Amino acid sequence: MNKIVLGGALGRDPEVRYMPGGDAAVKFSVATTERWRDRNSGEMKSATEWHTCIAYGKLGENIAKFFTKGSGILLEGKLRTRKYADKDGVTKYATEILVDTFEFPPGARSGGAAGSSNSNAEESNEPTKPAVGGGTAPNSDYSHQQDVDPF
C-alpha cells in the first residue's frame, strides 16, 4: 500500500501551472516538525522535514485558493518518484507526494486564511470551513505522468 498522511504547514504559496489539456497542476511544499527531549542533556530538539506535494485538477485549484504560505493543512496522498531531464539534459529524480485529499486543520477557516482561528466565525458572520477542503482527486492518469513535468 502506498499511502502518505501529513499534517504540517505550507512553506510557500502554492504554484499553479496548467497542463496541455487545461487541467491545473499545483505544487507546494509542506513542513512537518518533530520535537523531542534529548535523553542526555534534557534539551528540547526538533527536526523539520520538507515534502514536495502535487495536486491536479479542481483539487489543486482548491488548494491554491484556500492556502498560502504558513497555512496549516492535513492531506493524504501517495509517494511518487519521477525521472526527468533538467535544462542541461542531466537525468534527475524527484520524490513527491501526489495529493488525493486534503482537509483544513481543526480551527482553520476557508477564504485564503487557512490556519487562522475560526473561533469568531459565528459572531462575525464569516463563512465556515468546508468539512473536506476540496474532496478527492478524480480517478485519472495523474499518478502515472512520469514524463510530464509542468514545473
Q: Which helix (H) or strand (E) holds 60?
A: helix 57-66
Nearest one of 102, 106, 124, 127 to 115, comparing CA atoms: 106
* Distance of alpha carbon 50 from alpha carbon 36, whole angstroms: 18
Q: What pLDDT does 55 receive?
A: 98
Q: Answer with the residue of higher pLDDT: 136 or 52.
A: 52
Mind giving me the DSSP string for 71-134?
-EEEEEEEEEEEEEE-TTS-EEEEEEEEEEEEEPPTT--SSS-TTS--TTHHHHTPPPPPSSSS
Beta-carbon contacts of 30 under 8 Å, excluding residues fewer than 6 positions away, are: 6, 8, 9, 10, 11, 50, 51, 53, 73, 75, 97
User: Quick check: 14 pLDDT over 80?
Assistant: yes
pLDDT, one tens digit per residue, over 62-114 is: 999 999 999 999 999 999 999 999 999 999 999 999 999 999 998 776 544 43
Q: What pLDDT does 107 receive?
A: 77
Query: All domains of the chain, ordered by start, with CATH?
Result: 4-144 (2.40.50.140)
Q: What pLDDT does 69 receive?
A: 97
Global confidence as pTM: 0.72
pLDDT, one tens digit per residue, over 105-148 is: 987 765 444 333 333 333 333 333 343 445 455 444 554 444 45
